[in-house]
Structure 1
Amino acid sequence: MTEQFGGPPREQTIADIGEFGVIEAIRAIAPSARNGDDAAVLTQTTPNARFVASTDMLVEGRHFRLDWSTPQQIGAKAAIQNFADIESMGARPTAILFGISAPLSTPVRVVTGIAEGLWGQGKQCPAELVGGDVVSGDSLVISITAMGELGGLSRPLLRSGAKPGDTLIASGRIGYSAAGLALLERFGSPGAVPEQFAPLVAAHCTPEFEYRRGSTARAAGARSLTDNSDGFVVDIGAIAKSSGVTVEVDGDAIAPDELMCAAADHLGADPWDWVLTGGEDHTLLGSIPGEPPTGFRRIGQVVRSKFDAVLIDGEAPAHDSGWVSF
């Protein structure tokens, strides 16, 4: 806090400490010996490793809201959506870059909180925050670049690898984030949402993600993998279209659970809409010949070598839209 004559202390902003002060505050939250020079130098840690990279931008009011999520939750969510892209290639995350544009009135705690959320997820991989950039702007915008390694000689897990007869697999919940968003939109704030639905709100603010599942699937012989970011039908459909196959999902394997159904009853909504179109769970989805690997479950099968549909129990999905950026 900054002392203010004749009134209460004023919260310190990024204008108060300047660009280099903001950078030092971020580095204090997420220390790394590789962060601080013109660029970070990363070494490969496994034989025959290949470099994997992914990037995303998050805009306040469109991708996150500070009245719904803490800065730490926003940082964690930003890390997860990028690390999930690395994992879905069968790789492991190794580093992250953090760029931020913010109004000069932004409290320092918002920036350091986002860095804290990034750092907390990075420690689970492990992946250090190794650099980035800070600039002033009219709105709060976050840019994240995640980097990883694909070790060994086996191919990456592309969307185009599914084959007829493969088992469809998933690791993680489907529809929780969308249910949490619907609750926040109805009640206006996390504190106003009935307590029984807190896990759904938490899943929207910071999705659950189990690290090392991507490399586990690759080691077990998976042929394709992606993450549920834009909507289940959209994302499983991306595998089907890229692979030139038709997939049939077992409805019971992805059905909304009791908590989601209770929330849907409370809101007068259809929980299947959340499951099929919601996205942002970052559940790993893919295909493998044979049984699901550890941490995955069977959700269906690749049924034929022609792309003409994504089927749920042999029928067209009741909902098939998803997130679009424009």
Structure 2
Amino acid sequence: MDDRNALSRRAALRVGGALVGVGGLAGCSSLPFVGATPDPQYTDWLYAPDEAGVGDYGFTLLRPAALAERAEDIGPLAYERVRRVGESFLDLVDVDFEAVDSLLFVGADRSSVVLQGEYDREDVRAELGYDDFRRVGETESVGVYLPPEGDRVVGVADSYLAFAEGGPDPRAAVERLVETQAGEVPRYVDASSTVRTLTRSLGDGTVLFGARASGLPGRDTEAGRFEGQVASGLRFTVPEEEEEERVAFLRLYVFDGERAVPTDAVRAFVEDNRGTGESFDDVEDVAVAADGRTVRVTGGLNVRDFVATLFP
């Protein structure tokens, strides 16, 4: 897939390495999630790893239309960099970046994509036909299309488009997204209470990253990995109001619940990484607080600094 889709890796490296390389050891906590908070909609496409025969994986959510509303504040050059995320998929289905409500990147290499937004299903089918894609399967609600050559596969539904490229079986990857959204196979949040805690605690935003941390090598507090940490998340929320310049920031650490969460260690890590060019240098009004089995680092940053964080 186009390396410009690797938004998640660049941003994670900038804000600390806790979201990078988190595949690997599977398993889930047996602790139940307490509370009535609903699962965010994007979890409808997050399949249980066992369904794909893989270990834990991460996800990235981007809301292009919300970013397009603030294009002037972001600045023309920076906004062009933002628009190139997911470009190969959007060009393939002929959907404008500004018409996309959400792009969800799923998997260890984020090579599966789900698009929601404004498009006409028949127009997308026609566009794929121009490129000699052929329909190989269709349920009542979703058609699956294969190219004449190569490994790009597209699923077309009324409410979303699914896309996969590369990997051992991109067609299976698209069909897995379709089946997960339809509730025909187990979802990640049902298979792992850790992922449910992660996604419910992250909620929704303009840009999100999340992953279980079970594949990370041991504790390394200097690198932002802590004793008992089982997942990490990152959220940026761009305000809708044009006069509002502050982007809300959340860095989330999820712990196993078997011991007290290390709030002081996280606070020390944040304070040690406030210098120029370091993880939290652009974040203002930083606060660190425990919430159940999570520690939340919150603050705000300028709209342009937010884009620089995603595209250093």
Determine if the TM-score, normalized by the shorter chain, exceeds 0.5. no
User: Of Structure 1 and Structure 2, which has the larger fraction of its residues in strand?
Assistant: 2
TM-score normalised over the length of structure 2: 0.29
TM-score normalised over the length of structure 1: 0.28
Q: Which has the larger radius of gyration?
A: 1
